[in-house]
Amino acid sequence: MYPVRIEGERIVLREFEERDLDASMAVVGDPDVTVSLSFDTRAREEQAERLAADLRRALVEPRPDYYLAIADRRTDELIGFIRVGLGGHRSGELGYALRKDRWRQGLTYEAAQLMLTFGFEALALHRIQAACGPDNFASQAMLQRLGFEYEGRMRHHVFTNSAWRDSLLYAKIINN
């Protein structure tokens, strides 16, 4: 399915565009954001390559993931990312990040709700999981508010910021 555009009240989930490079640096170039992610803070050059790869990957059929920009609905400017990676057996893995100056406005929650509806309805997924760092209380609280249940701790799940990090696994299942 391409291109995807999902309209919310205050945000839009849309495909990445080349012009998103500068705006995306406010997310992937900010150590306060990437400290909670599974990759290190990126320099602009590296992000330019990543963005180009993301643009190409969106055209692969079948899509391995739906990695979308969270854009401000008024300006269409990228303020974050949200992704569902597709696994076997109608499963998906959710990930997200928002630029720091837009935190605590309910915007990622809105984006996640839109993505969950897309995943469970349009993609007919049965299970969507998410893994977050044990210290990432913001993400854990959000997943619980979204109806995810805690399933356990994955030890040394990711190598990030020069160290192994455990992850807490959450999942939501819909009997569709």
Ligand X SMILES: CC(C)(COP(=O)(O)OP(=O)(O)OC[C@H]1O[C@@H](n2cnc3c(N)ncnc32)[C@H](O)[C@@H]1OP(=O)(O)O)[C@@H](O)C(=O)NCCC(=O)NCCS
Distances (CA, A) of 106 to 36, 50, 113, 148: 18, 27, 11, 17
Q: Minimum distance between the CB of residue 136 and ligand X, rounded to whole angstroms?
A: 5
Cβ closer to ligand X: 13 or 142?
142
Cβ closer to ligand X: 31 or 62?
31
Is residue 39 within 8 A of residue 160, CB to CB? The reply is yes
Cβ closer to ligand X: 37 or 58?
37
Q: Minimum distance between the CB of residue 19 and ligand X, rounded to whole angstroms?
A: 22
Bridge partner residues of 129 (DSSP): 93, 171
Cβ closer to ligand X: 124 or 145?
145
Distances (CA, A) of 146 to 43, 111, 117, 133, 171: 32, 11, 11, 17, 10
Q: Minimum distance between the CB of residue 78 and ligand X, rounded to whole angstroms?
A: 13
Q: Minimum distance between the CB of residue 13 and ligand X, rounded to whole angstroms?
A: 14
The pair of three-digit structure tokens given for residue 164, joined into one six-digit string: 């192994």
**First-to-last CA distance in the chain?**
20
List of residues contacting ligand X (CB under 6 A): 33, 36-37, 96-98, 103-109, 132, 136-139, 141-142, 145
